[in-house]
Amino acid sequence: MIVTRRELKYPIGEMDYYKVNEMFKSVLSPDPNNKEYGYTIRSLYFDSINNDDYYAKTGGEEVRKKIRLRIYDTKTEKVKLEIKRKININQIKETATISKEDAIKLINKEYSVLLKYDNQTCQSAYNIMTIGQYQPVVLVDYNRRAYIHNENNIRVTLDSDIRSNEFEFDMFSEDIMMTPIFEYYNALLEVKFDGELFCWISQALTDLDTTNRSLSKYCSGRRFYENYIL
């Protein structure tokens, strides 16, 4: 599956979090996966041996990418493999589903497991990861509340309790110690849409005590690398 759309990101404090959550809950439809307090997402990000994707993001390059594995339950047998590409203001996300067994092999840099899938995303990931000698670099998890509107394929997400680990990459373990990423923000509000955004949503965003910023959970999660390696 390949999805192309625009994306806005706003780091928000605790008061704005509850404010916008109540607003979107009243005017948008809840994501079917939402439980009482949302749902959990865990992503394992990969980068090349030279950390090319990290430097493309921090350097502000207009064309860049990220490769990750994503799960919603540590007991799952199915894992999403995703390639996220940024081309100017547009986001393109390519997604494929692989088995837990193959995800573990990929974490161990056995790229050839992707060749068994008759899938363009797996083929692209195999080429990228083989050429760049990709390896896991940071595990990120958080809680998400999501709301949707069919018009313009609008999707609003509120991600809180965002944490990371740069040393342990067993994404199926429940015993990994995770460290909070942000010190000054309670959550990250993301608005994804096709075409134009409703004016009332735009107005609601301008009323927040924040601005649209190109924040990356991937780069923000690599605090040890940023502080002690660079």
Number of domains in the chain: 1
- How high does pLDDT run on average in the chain? 91
CATH number at residue 191: 3.20.100.30
The string of pLDDT tens digits covering residues 51-110 is 999 999 999 898 999 999 999 999 999 999 999 998 887 889 999 999 999 999 999 999
Q: What is the mean pLDDT of residues 117-138?
A: 97
User: Angle CA(220)–CA(211)–CA(90) in degrees, nearest 5?
Assistant: 70
Does the structure show a pLDDT above 80 at 39?
Answer: yes
Domain that holds residue 134: 5-229
pTM of model > 0.85: yes
C-alpha span between 173 and 123 (Å, rounded): 28
